[in-house]
Amino acid sequence: MEDGRGALHSAQWWAQFPAASERFDAAYLVDGLSDLLVRRIAAPLLRQEVKLAAEVVVRYLNRPGSEELAAWASSAATRLATTLERFAERSTGTISVEEAAALSLALDGRYADAAEAAEPLVGTIPLLRLYVTALRLEYFDIPLAVRLIEGGQAPEQAIRSGFLIGKYSWWPSWLLRIVTERALSGTLDQETIHALDQCAYADLSPFQARLARRLLEGETQLIATAAQRLEGLGEPEAADRLRHGDLDAVALAARLVPL
């Protein structure tokens, strides 16, 4: 199955996910891949062996300090790889082992290769949700990150936006709408986040919040009017910053200019 852009992804593309988080949950990932793939394996004996091998490896990944589990996991992964080699040697083309082979890569710690192999079998979106969730980032907006990647953004950019928006989830709804719109358009950066944060901390009435939104959207005439009134209130520096696109001046303009 292909994603919305009509193309599958390489192992290099999938490798961006484990690299994006020091807390990447390999146990969750392997367990999730097992759920997606094992039921698709047609040969009952092979299906059972793959399931048991995945369970052993997941137990080890949940307790990586256990030498005993490490030995069991290594043995299970090796045994499965050997089984798949025998299948390949004896195959007449009647039994597909693609699902088992994809999961075998994950059991060997090759998570990006496993995703590349599994994507044509289970589809992009289930894998994408699995890999994004496995990041285990705090204050992380998972649905938004998935939505951004589905829309064509690079994983690194989408993950950064999902983290930023999740971190500031306490913001008022009108600000969250702005930041989400900017994330979807690919224009969300740290400068914008800082400026929006100033607006979030400012004590704005509903009317002032609407004014701030229009200023953030860059309404030329409104910016000119707001800058003039800031000058009239003794804030010439803020007025100049506002005219030159400094988003940090928006909060002050909205708070001090009662249009």
Query: What is the model's pLDDT at position 257?
Result: 58
What CA–CA distance (Å, rounded) separates 39 from 22? 31
| Burial of 163 per CB tally in 10 Å (0-12, 13-18, 19+) | buried
Can you give the pLDDT at residue 2? 42
* pLDDT at residue 217 in the model: 78
Map out the domains of the chain with their CATH numbers: 11-136 (1.20.1440), 160-256 (no CATH)
What is the pTM for the complete model shown?
A: 0.72
DSSP string, 101-145: HHHHHHHTT-HHHHHHHHHHHH-HHHHHHHHHHTT--TT--HHHH
| The pLDDT of residue 134 | 95
pLDDT, position 86: 86
* pLDDT at residue 248 in the model: 73
**Cα torsion through 87, 89, 90, 91, rounded to 10:** 70
pLDDT in tens, the chain (259 residues): 344 345 789 999 999 999 989 999 999 999 999 999 999 998 898 999 999 999 999 999 999 999 999 999 999 999 999 999 888 777 656 567 899 999 999 999 999 999 999 999 999 999 999 999 999 988 888 888 998 898 888 898 888 888 878 877 778 777 778 888 888 887 777 777 877 787 776 777 778 778 888 888 788 888 888 888 888 888 888 888 888 877 778 877 877 755 4
Cα–Cα nearest to 222, from 235, 212, 207, 232: 212
Paired tokens of 173: 């709804």
